């Protein structure tokens, strides 16, 4: 499968579509999900063109991989949901068809601000 340059997150990265930005650095962009499922529902995406976690794991540089993990933590810190606040959150990535992935650009959902409930419904 090839990366679809016209997916909605690619458009957000290019600034063609607005987003409610939370955080940005060299490696990631984070913004609020347009259809929040919990009190806090953030998305964290790598800046590179990767379809999903498997595509990212096989093609991304070590710097990008570290940058994504650090970026998730930076967003959690900024939203005050990281474990060192005593709160915590769920980080989740849907991968491909059985994972229920809708947007074909790798993204992590961060759910928090309340108990997030059962892991799989
Ligand atoms: P997934 O099912 O894991 O691919 O999740 C895609 C997520 O992207 C969903 O939670 C959508 O609500 C969210 N989404 C779709 N379009 C936008 C957008 N323009 N801005 C923010 N979030 C979006």
Tell me whether residue 117 is in a domain. Answer: no
pLDDT class of 1 with cuts at 50, 70, 90: confident
Number of domains into which the chain is organized: 1
Tell me whether residue 121 is in a domain. Answer: no
Tell me whether residue 26 is in a domain. Answer: yes
Residue 96, CB-side half-sphere exposure with 13 Å CA sphere: 7
Question: Residue 68: its pLDDT value, please?
Answer: 98
Residue 17 alpha carbon, nearest atom of ligand 1: 19
Q: Are 111 and 32 in contact (CB under 8 A)?
A: no
Q: Is the pLDDT of residue 121 over 90?
A: no
Ligand 1: distance of its center to the CA of 107 in Å?
Answer: 9
Tell me whether residue 49 is in a domain. Answer: yes
Q: Which domain holds residue 92?
A: 8-112
**Catalytic residue flag (residue 107):** yes
Tell me whether residue 118 is in a domain. Answer: no
Tell me whether residue 13 is in a domain. Answer: yes
Residue nearest to atom 13 of ligand 1 (CA): 33
pLDDT in tens, 17-67: 999 999 999 999 999 999 999 999 999 999 999 999 999 999 999 999 999
Tell me whether residue 1 is in a domain. Answer: no
Looking up residue 68, the CATH number of its domain turns out to be 3.30.428.10
Tell me whether residue 2 is in a domain. Answer: no
Is ligand 1 within 6 A of the CB of residue 7?
Answer: no
Is ligand 1 within 6 A of the CB of residue 15?
Answer: no
Chain-centroid distance, C-alpha 24: 12
pTM, two decimals, is: 0.98
């Amino acid at each position: 499968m090839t990366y679809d340059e016209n997916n909605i997150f690619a458009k957000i990265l290019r600034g063609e579509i607005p987003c409610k930005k939370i955080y940005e650095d060299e490696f990631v962009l984070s913004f609020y999900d347009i259809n929040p499922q919990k009190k806090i529902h953030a998305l964290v995406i790598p800046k590179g063109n990767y379809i999903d976690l498997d595509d990212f794991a096989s093609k991304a540089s070590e710097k990008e991989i570290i940058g994504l993990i650090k970026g998730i933590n930076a967003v959690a810190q900024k939203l005050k949901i990281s474990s060192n606040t005593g709160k915590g959150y769920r980080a989740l990535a849907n991968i491909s068809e059985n994972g229920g992935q809708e947007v074909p650009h790798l993204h992590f959902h961060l759910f928090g601000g309340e108990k997030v409930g059962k892991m799989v419904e």
